[in-house]
Structure 1
Amino acid sequence: MVKHASWQEWRCAEARSWIAVPDQSDDKYSRGVLGVCTGSAEYPGAAVLGVQAAARTGVGMIRYLGPAVVAQLVLARRPEVVVGQGRVQAWLLGSGMNAEDLGDAAPDLASAAASGVPLVCDAGALDYARLATGPTIITPHFRELAGLLTRAGASVNPATIAEDPGAWAGRAADLLGVTVLLKGSVTWIADPTGTRFTVSHSPSWLATAGAGDVLGGILGALLATHHEQLQTDAQALPALAATAAWVHAEAARRASGGGPIAALDVADAVPATIAALLAAPTAPSETAAPC
């Protein structure tokens, strides 16, 4: 695995400035409304995990679109979620969906992609990034990126991407014209302007089912809380992606305590992780580890 000098390791000192802290004048709308179109009958838990992570990251409101059976599970975990269409300020799309069998979700994904608001496109919605009219980030793992690039005309296999994931994240950003967050033991974030960030301190216990769904929820919440800035500041998107990856990794470390974790543990550790981040000394950290 090659890490070139142009890649900047994202640390707590950088992440801290991308956490939106509400003040007394804020309400649920000014804090950001995240639309979530995720989950399926086959993978209903993806929706629950993403919604839980978004709620724990600090978004003002969440609207959920998806199968009724999945919506019931989401509401059982987070009864404050609003089910159905309405105004949103960012979208999380595709987690827990199969791109080859989207069914009734396809029209909702297409509508969200064309809405002009910031998008997180994951799993089954990766191909919808080409329809996006607003700031967009895709969050593939190696196999998903290989398939996406092959469909875009750059034939590659997952093993080749694993040999130099940073280079392939950069190529994907250039070819697809979107910000890329490439998941793995190191998270690689690249955008078409040449911005390059890494997050490298994830505990190995984070390699667990549903962890990517949690990351999507954290990232979606951060996009919603920064929706106004994203419309005018192109550099905000990779910075928010790196911050989401940092919070995800540090929440996993906090939840683990050196032992095994499950994805929901990570989501539930996000508030304490953010609190510790905001309370940390302002001097830059000497390492990629926690503040």
Structure 2
Amino acid sequence: MTALQPLFNAVTVIFIVATMFAAGLATTLSALRAVLTDLPLLLLALLANLVAVPLLGWGIAALFGLPAAGFVAVVLVASSPGGPFGAKLSMVQKGDVVAGTAMQVLLAAVGSLSFGPMSSGILALAEVGGGVSLDVAALVRTVAILQLVPFAVGLIVRRYARSAALSWHPATAMVSNVTFIMVLAGMLLGSWHDVVALLGSRTLLTGAVLSVVAFGVGTLLATGAPARRTTMGGITAVRNVGPPLAAVGIAFGNEQAVLGALAAVLISGLVVALPIAAVLGRDRDGGTA
């Protein structure tokens, strides 16, 4: 993958920026305000996503005795809340789409700052691979620029040029979806030996278990009607791929084994979370958005 590395890096940057810009274009200040002022829901969601899931990821990875690459991948994924696909899960399960989308972008923004210290602290305490640690300052700076700035720009456009935001959002969302597939494909193709080696392994199982546990934790640590609670479960189950990719590039030099494990964990988590949302949505007539 060495020859294609610059292209992979460029597509990754486009994916992260497009995703957060699209999130900003789709988010209203009133929706964000509603989440921010619902203190019980906000505090429980922050507890679930910023504390509980990272610690559970560490515990599950240790319980399954993962090798270093898989352990690192699980910790990075577990420490990164606010995955954009979480908002899609709220639609699939016909849940509280407005609250889910607002919470997703809020968690992505906060997670861009919390990811570095949390993942670095866990990896240092676990002493994985001889005590791997991340350059927290560089990671926070990189992720904040790639996520917070595009989101803020999108939010401003939505606030002051609503018609432009509504017209730009479909194309931006399509760019996000296409580049997400390209990023996953690049991770798989560039690390296919490592991914094949993981088939039937504990790394794939760990990713699936983490997704199920995170869904349950997010649902339990939420308030409101069942539709809102399971929406928060879906938001918690889907983690944000942007910060882990930045971490792999900064701290691990895009090591193929870590990229392969990261792809395996992300895919296995999505494969488990999507059917859960579909089953929940089957018995609902419509969302609360």
TM-score of the alignment, normalized to the shorter chain, above 0.5: no
Q: Which has the higher strand share?
A: 1
Bigger relative CO (Cα 8 Å, ≥ 6 apart): 2
TM, length-normalised to structure 1: 0.30
Q: Which has the higher helix share?
A: 2
